[in-house]
Structure 1
């Protein structure tokens, strides 16, 4: 019998290095986050403590509010003028809306889904909700409280609100859906398969480049080291390229002009 010691001495590649930043210790399990367009506030969902947190980032970062929201908040999104947040819960068949200025709950809606994994504003009155276990998404009208079962596969969601297009990253490929005023229909353009069964960690649409970006890891242990962020053209769903990051990405952000990708 023998043993050996391996010491990893490789340093990670650093493409952009920033020294001017603040750290705010929270001790939370953050499942989602979003920042307002004026860069004044950040909102976080705290999965284990069943709450949503508001952080003031105008000067030094500080927690300015916290609301107990329900069982395991897992996703959130802001409406177009950043006045309302919608929050999806993994552990309950309901969603909440929160007014951002006064930071208080203004609505609760029952939905026919369990194990919700993502939610996005389609417009200021309609949200689209995805579940890990139900076969399809629903759209919910926040004004009438009515929901519509949509012929949309479940997965991670990204919206092109200007052109009324919904993108869905499933475990094998990215789908595109067009809005007809009440329902989504699948676009004939479908992305090429990833080539593996994937877990989607984050999925966004960048309007400046009309491109969608996905952080993916493989569900297969033998192919677990997916080292790129994948991107696809929003118009025809063709493969737009991979960004080498040398490990599975957990989140991705893109500058407003689409020229820089952060992960």
Structure 2
């Protein structure tokens, strides 16, 4: 801009670079006064910008904030703002990388933090997921019984499973319900937490080991017959098909499935 007056677009660009990226180029356009300098005057905007983004992070992870405590959470949020510049036009998605920050080595001694953040982020993703049909018992009943062995199921677009190595879900649930949360602990066996949107509300529950295995395989296209075979290996073979049918009924009632189609049976189904 040497030799000419800056345009409004120039000033806006310099202002944004100063606030977002820390550039000092705009300071030459800001006159100081008898009480303070231009960098102190502009510092008000820089501070306000960071404070607003910290507030965005806190609004996105209220349970994590409750678990960490105000001071510790805000220290983390300010570190996030410094490391993850805003690149979103919608502030709702600015904080989506918080679990990545909490997976860094400096948080290795508190793995529950990342997992609480994963739960909160996945609940938001479930709420915003694409709409999908909800399969019900009546629709499933249109398939003749002799074809059920070849049925494959499509999960609702909002459904996802988190594998948690700590008691993060118990901590999250307790704080959500305003009860005393357990102390953080690592689990001997990881939890599988299913998160999805049910009747417009993001919801969740812990899956037992067998159901988790079957849900994941069903989501990958395993047929009903194939699921029954896997259940027979997992536990009592005589009741395997019945157990799979019971899980299937629960998935239908919960709005977890969007479709069921008959695939031609093969040896690997």
Q: TM-score range by the shorter chain?
A: under 0.3
Which structure carries more relative contact order (alpha carbon 8 Å, separation 6+)? Answer: 2
- Flag the structure with higher helix content: 2
- Flag the structure with higher strand content: 1
Q: Please identify the structure whose Cα radius of gyration is greater.
A: 2
